């Protein structure tokens, strides 16, 4: 399997602290050593860093940990390969343009019979179940969601599509179009929103502690989403299986609970 890390903030915020924990899980405190990637939105633009090498030993991952890139929305992934070789084109996150925005996506889980999902204009470059599902998902959005849709309209379509994908296996997902970060839980995802009064946090995966009060202003709001909680002294909330949450500017702006037939 893999691990996911996402962030949504109301001011450009660096993710060095969380990434310092996450990158250790890629070969040191965790087995996810088959590549990694991280994408930072800055306005409508996006930049990414990725490597098929383990994040724990990657020079590029170390650079990302030490050089604060400030972003409103971040999507990151460390990989433990199941479907698809270990190579650059199979590293997450995957990025495509649709409706004049960059859509960025990362997936945790494994899908069976995923090649049954019909594709259109979006085609996978690599060989993972994850990228195939992403291409299918974008095709549904292209077909069903007008460019002027609100995040609520988009969320409703996404929730239905994610539920379809989770019929194929485990499907935990982060997806953003720069404006909104959508988080879908099939089995395991946790989140936390930090706001004033900010306190100290202790990473689970190394000895690093940060006092957020020293790095923030009283109006900052930052939500972090991760497969497993990254800190030991804060209360993270587990998403329910089947739940979709939309984050924008650090806040929860939409929730679609698990639905049952």
Q: Which of 47, 70, 200, 255 binds a copy of itself (CB under 8 A)?
A: 47
Cβ neighbours for 207, distance < 8 A, ≥ 6 positions apart: none
Per-residue x/- marks for a copy of itself, 110-149, CB under 8 A? -----------xxxxxx-----------------------
Nearer to a copy of itself (CB atom), residue 179 or residue 187: 179
Chain center to CA of 23: 14
Q: Decide if 95 contacts 38 (C-beta within 8 A).
A: no
Q: Which of 49, 83, 144, 249 binds a copy of itself (CB under 8 A)?
A: 49
Residue 173 β-bridge partners: 107, 184
Per-residue x/- marks for a copy of itself, 184-223, CB under 8 A? ----------------------------------------
Q: Decide if 55 contacts 107 (C-beta within 8 A).
A: no
Nearer to a copy of itself (CB atom), residue 69 or residue 239: 69
Any contact of residue 232 with a copy of itself (CB under 8 A)?
Answer: no
Piece of 21-29, 49-57, 152-160, 251-259 that binds a copy of itself (CB under 8 A):
49-57
Any contact of residue 59 with a copy of itself (CB under 8 A)?
Answer: yes
Any contact of residue 234 with a copy of itself (CB under 8 A)?
Answer: no
Q: Decide if 255 contacts 245 (C-beta within 8 A).
A: yes
In this structure, what token pair is assigned to residue 71? Answer: 């972003």
Residues in 67-106 that interact with a copy of itself by CB under 8 A: 67, 87-91, 95-102
DSSP string, 167-207: TTB--EEEEE-SS-EEEE-SS--EEEEEESSP-EEEBSSSS
CB of 121 to a copy of itself, least distance (A): 6
Active site residue 16: no
CB of 42 to a copy of itself, least distance (A): 5
Intra-chain end-to-end CA distance of the chain, in Å:
28
Q: Decide if 209 contacts 203 (C-beta within 8 A).
A: yes
Size of the site for a copy of itself (CB under 8 A): 34
Residues in 5-44 that interact with a copy of itself by CB under 8 A: 42-44
Residues of the shown chain interacting with a copy of itself in the complex, contacts defined by CB under 8 A: 42-52, 59-60, 63, 67, 87-91, 95-102, 121-126
């Amino acid at each position: 399997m893999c691990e996911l890390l996402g962030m949504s903030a109301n001011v450009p915020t660096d993710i060095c602290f969380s990434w310092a924990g996450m990158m250790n899980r890629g070969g040191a405190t965790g087995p996810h050593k088959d590549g990694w990637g991280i994408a930072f939105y800055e306005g409508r633009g996006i930049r990414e860093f990725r490597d098929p090498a383990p994040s724990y030993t990657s020079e590029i991952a170390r650079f990302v940990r030490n050089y604060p890139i400030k972003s409103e929305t971040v999507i990151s992934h460390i990989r433990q390969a199941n479907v698809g070789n270990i190579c650059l084109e199979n590293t997450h996150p995957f990025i495509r343009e649709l409706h004049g925005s960059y859509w960025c996506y990362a997936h945790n889980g494994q899908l069976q019979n995923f090649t049954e999902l019909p594709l259109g204009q979006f085609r996978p470059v690599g060989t993972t179940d994850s990228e195939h599902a992403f291409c299918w998902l974008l095709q549904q959005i292209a077909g069903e969601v007008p460019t002027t849709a609100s995040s609520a309209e988009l969320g409703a379509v996404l929730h239905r599509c994610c539920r379809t994908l989770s019929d194929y296996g485990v499907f935990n997902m982060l997806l953003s179009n720069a404006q909104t970060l959508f988080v879908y839980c099939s089995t395991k995802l946790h989140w936390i929103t930090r706001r004033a009064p900010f306190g100290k946090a202790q990473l689970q995966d190394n000895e690093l502690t940060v006092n957020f009060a020293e790095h923030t202003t009283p109006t900052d709001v930052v939500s972090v989403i991760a497969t497993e909680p990254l800190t030991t002294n804060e209360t993270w909330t587990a998403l329910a299986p089947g739940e979709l949450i939309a984050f924008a500017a650090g806040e929860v702006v939409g929730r679609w609970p698990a639905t049952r037939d």
